[in-house]
Amino acid sequence: MKFDKILRIATSLLKLLKKIITSLVIVILLTNSLQAKVKFKDIKFAPDFYAQSIQTCKAIGNRSFKNKNTVKRVSGLVGYDWMSDWKKNSNSLTVKHINITEPILWMMTATHNAVSEDDKESLTTGKELLVKLAKANTLLDSTGYHELKNKPMCWKNNDPNSPCWYHSYEFAKDVFSLYLISAIWLKDELDEDEFQIVDRYINRMYRKFLKPLINKKQDQGFYAMANGGTGILIYANWSNDKRLAMREINNRLKYIDKVFLEDGYINNNSFRGYRGQWYHSYGLNSVLGYVYIAKLWGAKIPNKIQQKLIKASEITNLAITDWDKFKSREFAGANPNKISNKDNAIKHTHQMAFSLDALMEVVTGVKLENDPIYLQKRKYHMKDGFDSLIGFNAHCLSENLN
């Protein structure tokens, strides 16, 4: 009798335990389904990062590896000492980055044209440059993410001339991300040994500059290449890691929801004092580029975020049409990098965000207001073919081609 009673109790306990486990599983699944914006099965990498296939595009320009100056300029990036350049020429207010950003943009432009034209000679040159940059461990000696912990903050003592170590890291990170795009386009041209050289370099750079950002907690600001998020997506494409892409997109959407305020202003960017308009448009361009890629790859953007992006686009227009009203918005939080000196004012849309007009219409349906200073100044950056804030040229999207 005792044995039967014990057996009945044990059976009852097992049934109860089974119900508890089942309930916990349901709760976990429901919680995950509420949090997830994109699932593993939804990820479909665009073969050429921002498009299903590379097509010729006038907005890219006609730069070619057949031009000796192009090859020379790109070759100048091989093993370039960015840290010496940065220490000598940059501060918290201004970053002189042309000697690393221009060569990689020329590399992208010439590679894009070689692929779209199926120019075998140019593809070979591009591949050789890709391998040389990898062999030299280009930019690997730059400030890494973890090294920033022991460096002083930018704008120390509110001094615009103080060094900004984050900039030395940021530009190395973003130039590497742009290198990755060229690597994706040239991947099929690499033989086994060449692939190993390039892949080894990419993995080392990724671990130092991008991987630490996966779990980084941020409170303010949205800047170039989605604060590294775009670079992580590019690496996921290169390594065919759909789980990484899923994780990155879901994390970044949460962050977008956090820093893009209900009325369209961006926590930090929009409140940079006399450069608030400049940095607001900079951040908007970056987020719209990121969202375009995420949607192309299978993500569904929550309506709440979509409405914030529409509002942010409208605020960009407000800054153009009524700068004083734009700037009158009060901000209660910490704002250590606010530009308070009128002499440093910039009252126009960010000239490096040259894809902004195209992205606003494609992603939000809002047309950018006429900003003559922006339209004039952005010509300088458009000649490089690619928008370095997003990793592609939105004027080459199929939605914008006639």
- Burial code (b: 16+ CB inside 10 Å, e: under 16) for 127-138 equals bbbbbbbbeeeb
Q: pLDDT at residue 12 above 90?
A: no
pLDDT confidence bin for 293, thresholds 50/70/90: very high
Reduced 3-state DSSP string for 142-169: CCCCHHHHHCCCCCHHHCCCCCCHHHHH
Which amino acid belongs to residue 132? K
The terminus-to-terminus CA distance of the chain in angstroms comes to 86
Q: Which of 208-217, 232-241, 319-328 has the lowest average pLDDT?
A: 208-217
The whole-number pLDDT of residue 32 equals 42
Q: Span 119-139, mean pLDDT?
A: 98
The whole-number pLDDT of residue 11 equals 65
Q: Taking CA 173 as the corner, what is the angle to CA 76 and CA 60, rounded to the nearest 5 degrees?
A: 60
SS3 (DSSP) at 339: strand
pLDDT digits (tens, 9 = 90+) for 328-371: 999 988 888 898 899 999 999 999 999 999 999 999 999 999 99
Candidates 276, 229, 80; CA nearest to 168 is 80
Question: What distance in Å separates the CA atoms of residue 274 and residue 339, rounded to the nearest whole number?
Answer: 6
The whole-number pLDDT of residue 87 equals 96
pLDDT digits (tens, 9 = 90+) for 39-59: 999 999 999 999 999 999 999
The whole-number pLDDT of residue 5 equals 62
pLDDT confidence bin for 29, thresholds 50/70/90: very low
Q: Span 32-42, mean pLDDT?
A: 68
Question: What distance in Å separates the CA atoms of residue 392 and residue 49, rounded to the nearest whole number?
Answer: 9
Q: Which of 96-100, 154-158, 234-238, 282-286 has the lowest average pLDDT?
A: 154-158
Q: Span 212-228, mean pLDDT?
A: 91
Question: What distance in Å separates the CA atoms of residue 327 and residue 214, rounded to the nearest whole number?
Answer: 33
pLDDT confidence bin for 17, thresholds 50/70/90: low
Q: Looking at residue 155, what DSSP letter applies?
A: T
The whole-number pLDDT of residue 25 equals 43
The whole-number pLDDT of residue 197 equals 98
The whole-number pLDDT of residue 13 equals 65
The mean pLDDT of the chain is: 92
Question: What distance in Å separates the CA atoms of residue 354 and residue 80, rounded to the nearest whole number?
Answer: 27
Q: pLDDT at residue 400 above 70?
A: no
More confident residue, 285 or 29: 285
Question: What distance in Å separates the CA atoms of residue 29 and residue 211, rounded to the nearest whole number?
Answer: 27
Q: Span 305-326, mean pLDDT?
A: 98
pLDDT digits (tens, 9 = 90+) for 146-188: 999 999 999 888 888 999 999 999 999 999 999 999 999 999 9
Q: pLDDT at residue 227 above 50?
A: yes
Candidates 316, 325, 225; CA nearest to 266 is 316
What CA dihedral angle connects 180, 185, 191 and 195, to 10 degrees? Answer: 10
Q: pLDDT at residue 84 above 90?
A: yes
Q: Looking at residue 142, what DSSP letter applies?
A: S
pLDDT digits (tens, 9 = 90+) for 259-292: 999 999 999 999 999 999 999 999 999 999 999 9
Residue 341, class by beta-carbon neighbours within 10 Å (0-12 exposed, 13-18 middle, 19+ buried)?
exposed
What CA dihedral angle connects 84, 211, 37 and 237, to 10 degrees? Answer: 80
Give me the DSSP letters along 258-278. HHB-TTS-BTTGGGSBTTHHH
Residue 68, class by beta-carbon neighbours within 10 Å (0-12 exposed, 13-18 middle, 19+ buried)?
exposed
